[in-house]
Structure 1
């Protein structure tokens, strides 16, 4: 990638190719590898805070920001159109997958499966933070499959659905699309001013904070409705943003306006010695020419430009 070697996006970039397809793959990946359904079944999106955290950190996050800022070309309208087209796909898919959550909850031992769901989030956080660590960790799909096997209880099987799960799933995907749209709209201003690697590491920390309440549920630790993960992400954004890092339009305009005057000054300065020589004035030299010595050839203090 041109700006940030994001581990997740870089791995997908080798397989996908174009920036638009890469962004679509990054945003659809939680629906494909089972991360999003696992979070729905684990009850992470039971509150509005959980919906927002899932949307920003799972569908959005550092990988989405890295692809938009580092890889996508074209003007703002083209990027917004691409994001809206991707959103038109992932929002219905998220609603459909969330609709089957009550059915899965019926034949799973939820306390056991929730631990695997938290472990999946920690795995994603580790893969986001470091590609070297991610190479030694299993894929999220394998962890979810192991969780399904470990928590499977067929006695409670029944096909169920709930409008609440459908709305929450669609809302989480919508939050992720809104995050991507905000990055696309602000991309001319954010490029060069956002340290994507720093934002990536902060996003990994926020994912870890999101996973802790799920993993520590049996111990009743960090059981709070406060949006701690969002707070961590907000602090990360502040540290990753540097308003003075990128050149502004005013600076470019000033440099463009000053260029002719500087060139003219250079021309005037360059023409003055030539004019003196043209008038027949020879530059004076000091020193004893009779003995063949050149005072400027040996004394560096008198000729500091040598």
Structure 2
């Protein structure tokens, strides 16, 4: 899903670098002056506005997360839990909360309420879930998604893909935490139920990987843990071979002079 979300940006960069620039350098006469039309100006302004909106969104998310984590580190107490190699930061509070906070150096953040409500085995598998988020760099991926441009300024148009990515990310962390162990699955499902109802983690920080980010996904995650679905037998080699073949075909097409000539004519029509 992350690849699918970033695909429009990658295709845009590839089109500019592989078609627009080469066709302009090849076919544009030297020392020519052209008048830019309204369509070109409007397209350029929309592009700049879309890019500026995405950068502003990413900066805003980073600042919110930085302020939130700074407040947490000021009031939290660093401690070590039995059986855990990584330290955790404990915050006072009755609401059960457990999350991975931070981007470059993420840390485990847990409330006193979570320590009191979760048993030692439940806490252990919940921390394994957060460790999976850390290993996958999910907080950094959230920042990359926030930075990815949308369809139009102030309209992203990729909400369904982004929500699906967040859902699959939680499922992957659940699977990494339990590793197919039925007992761990039950413990993690119970831990999810115990921390439910705290509120949306996005209100705290948009770049946060909590144990339960969205309460509406609680039922689906518990069902997957208690009734796991066997993974589909998809060959990564076949996918890689298909992607390589498609890329090679596109490169071969782009390398043809007639392709660059068509791209140049399109640019000329857009400019004028």
Determine if the TM-score, normalized by the shorter chain, exceeds 0.5.
Answer: no
**Greater length-normalized contact order (CA 8 Å, ≥ 6 residues apart):** 2
> Whose helix proportion is higher, 1 or 2?
1
- The structure that is strand-richer by fraction is 2
- Flag the structure with larger Rg: 1
TM-score (norm 1): 0.26
